[in-house]
């Protein structure tokens, strides 16, 4: 009796296994993840104020202030404008080079101001929690902007130039609420400068980091 019962169970399991449907291999395009966007950006304008620093030039270090305006056409695509100013300060290395030991003042240019506009792409929206209580929503983005940068020679009388500029950057927002977020960005401005003393065109990079607060204005029916 026990053997008959065991055999019937095996037969039922085999029949059930044979009824399994093989759907094949799923493509990435067939998988759709539904993400609950608690802090939407679509059809809204974002205004930000950011403190920045350009620390990577060994001869000139530059604190600066940047203002941003981003209009979000969707959750992933926006037009981005950035206007700012600052002042490049001599580093200890520059002071050493122009001192009595070397007596050479490097022909460097300092940042004064810039105006840039371009496109921002935000492909990642996510959330995390450190304590299990407070959930932090964030997004990550890449940005490219074009415009001009005003720079001045550190050497007196060395000239002022307006350099065509391409700025590339990555950054993110940490949403406080539907109207406020903490925002950071790391960017690199690629410039071509026409310098007075050498009468030549020179390539220069201004790598910088920024941290600030942005405010999302009402729009899109929200």
Segments of the chain scoring below 50 in pLDDT = 2-3, 5-6, 9-10, 15-18, 34, 221
Fold held by 2-216: Porin (2.40.160)
Please say whether the dihedral angle defined by the alpha carbons of residues 168, 172, 177 and 182, taken in this order, is positive or negative. negative
Predicted local distance difference test score (pLDDT) of residue 150: 98
C-beta separation of 169 from 185 below 8 A: yes
**Integer Rg of the chain from CA:** 28
For residue 108, the model assigns a pLDDT of 94
- CA dihedral 131→135→136→138, nearest 10 degrees, is 130
pLDDT of amino acid 143: 98
- The confidence score (pLDDT) of residue 221 equals 46
pLDDT of residue 4: 52
**Which of 19-43 are b and which e, b meaning 16 or more Cβ less than 10 Å from the residue's Cβ?**
eeeeeeeeeeeeeeeeeeeebbbbe
165, 144 in Cβ contact below 8 A? no
In this prediction, residue 146 carries a pLDDT of 98
pLDDT at 140 (0 to 100): 97
CA distance 33 to 126: 12
Per-domain boundaries in the chain: 2-216
pLDDT at position 20: 52
Locate the DSSP E strands across 76-199: 77-86, 89-90, 109-129, 135-153, 160-175, 180-195
| Residues making up the chain, counted from first to last | 222
Alpha helices in the chain (DSSP H): 2-18, 92-98
């Amino acid at each position: 009796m026990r053997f008959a019962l065991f055999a019937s169970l095996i037969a039922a399991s085999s029949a059930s296994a044979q009824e399994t449907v093989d759907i094949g291999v799923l493509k990435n395009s067939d998988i759709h993840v539904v993400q609950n966007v608690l802090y939407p950006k679509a059809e809204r304008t974002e205004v930000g104020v950011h403190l920045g620093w350009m620390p990577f030039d060994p001869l000139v270090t530059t604190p600066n202030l940047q203002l941003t305006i981003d209009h979000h056409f969707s959750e992933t695509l926006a037009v981005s404008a950035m206007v700012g100013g600052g002042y490049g300060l001599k580093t200890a290395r520059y002071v050493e080079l122009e001192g009595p030991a070397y007596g050479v003042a490097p022909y460097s240019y300092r940042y004064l101001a810039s105006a840039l506009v371009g496109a921002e792409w935000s492909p990642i929206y996510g959330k995390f929690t450190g304590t299990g209580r407070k959930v932090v929503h964030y997004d990550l983005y890449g940005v490219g902007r074009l415009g001009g940068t005003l720079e001045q020679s550190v050497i007196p009388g060395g000239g002022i130039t307006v350099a065509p500029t391409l700025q590339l950057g990555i950054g993110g927002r940490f949403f406080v609420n539907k109207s406020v977020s903490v925002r950071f960005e790391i960017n690199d401005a690629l410039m071509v400068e026409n310098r007075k003393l050498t009468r030549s065109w020179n390539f220069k990079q201004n790598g910088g980091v920024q941290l600030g607060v942005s405010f999302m204005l009402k729009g899109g029916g929200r």
